Amino acid sequence: MTAAVAGIPGTGVVPPVVAQLCDDAAVFPPGLAPLPDAVRAHRERHEHWWADLAGPLVLADAALPDLASLPAPGGVPLRLAVTVPRGPAGIPDVLSACARLPVRPTAVEVAVPAGTGAAQFLDALAAALAGLGPPHVPEIYVEVPRDSRRDALLDGLTGRYRAKFRTGGVRADLYPDDAELAAAIADAVGAGVAFKATAGLHHAVRNTDPHTGFEQHGFLNLLLATEALVAGGTEQDARVLLAERDPADVAARVAALDDDRVRAVRATFTSFGTCSMVEPLTELIELGVVVTDTAGGDPS
């Protein structure tokens, strides 16, 4: 527990602009929390006033057998987003495994295998889902590769699936620059495809990591860039917002979003994966996006 977390007041309000914004990716790098600890922490989180900040627990499909061996407390099923790195063929097994567990899969995040074309992938995805329907199929997110397949894939997702964009990683080249990320968001907005982001969004506002020197996108910058595009702005508008480093400016822009604009942007930018919940919570409080009282307390 950090000192900043220990000082967070005991009550507060998570506004709609960031509600369910942070998918709980505690088991993934750099967090790498052991599965029992991640599950326990995720369940305990819902006892706190800031529970509405958290989306589902994100697990790889390979972790589902280990999940089955953990104690299953009564009450609300564990909300899961399951990643399927081997492609669409693994989806039926994932849903079958989830059906035998005390969980509620809210999303399946499927990768596009290397060397697989957009049309081939979309056909394989449709085949994997054939015969399945509500309530068996959660939201399907397709991890869009950072190559020439992007446009065709996004066109194929329209009206059926959602997109997942990687926004960082363990190497500098895994971070898309402002131009690439703005173009990807613009393509998704133009195709009417909602998306989530994963990796690299360690802070609310654009920054340079002091340890690695990596240029890191801010999750609030991404939200503002998406909102600008949804509202009819240009790719250049999105690039400028992605590059903004002034926390006060970013916070003021978020505060200026009215209810209709919040609903519109959050219908498009649904969430991002984070290894920590308390770190984005702390930054959102410091920026005034999440408002707390002054009574003291500890949400961890």
- pTM for the whole structure: 0.92
- State the DSSP H helix or E strand holding residue 270, giving kind and residue range, or none if neither: strand 269-274
In the chain, the amino acid numbered 118 is A
* pLDDT at position 8: 64
In the chain, the amino acid numbered 86 is R
Considering Cα of 28, then 30, then 34, then 39, what sign does the dihedral take? negative
Q: 189: which 2 tokens?
A: 């907005």
Q: Supply φ then ψ for residue 80, to 5 degrees.
A: -125, 145
* pLDDT at position 1: 32
Question: Which residue in this structure is represented by tokens 């889902």?
Answer: 129
CA distance 276 to 39: 13
Residuewise pLDDT in 10s, the chain (300 residues):
333 334 566 789 999 999 999 999 999 988 899 999 999 999 988 788 999 999 999 999 999 999 988 876 666 789 999 999 999 999 999 999 999 999 999 999 999 999 999 999 999 999 999 977 666 679 999 999 999 999 999 999 999 999 999 999 989 999 999 999 999 999 999 999 999 999 999 999 999 999 999 999 999 999 999 999 999 999 999 999 999 999 999 999 999 999 999 999 999 999 999 999 989 999 999 999 999 975 444 444
Choose among 79, 18, 71: nearest CA to 45.
79
Is there a contact between 51 and 192 (Cβ–Cβ < 8 Å)?
Answer: no
| Domains, the chain | 3-285 (3.20.20.70)
* pLDDT at position 45: 83
* pLDDT at position 48: 87
Is there a contact between 282 and 5 (Cβ–Cβ < 8 Å)?
Answer: yes
Q: Which residues of 236-272 are buried (b: 16+ CB within 10 A; e: fewer)?
A: ebbbbbbbbeebeebbebbeebeeeebebbbebbbbb
Choose among 140, 255, 239: nearest CA to 196.
140
* pLDDT at position 34: 96
* pLDDT at position 7: 53
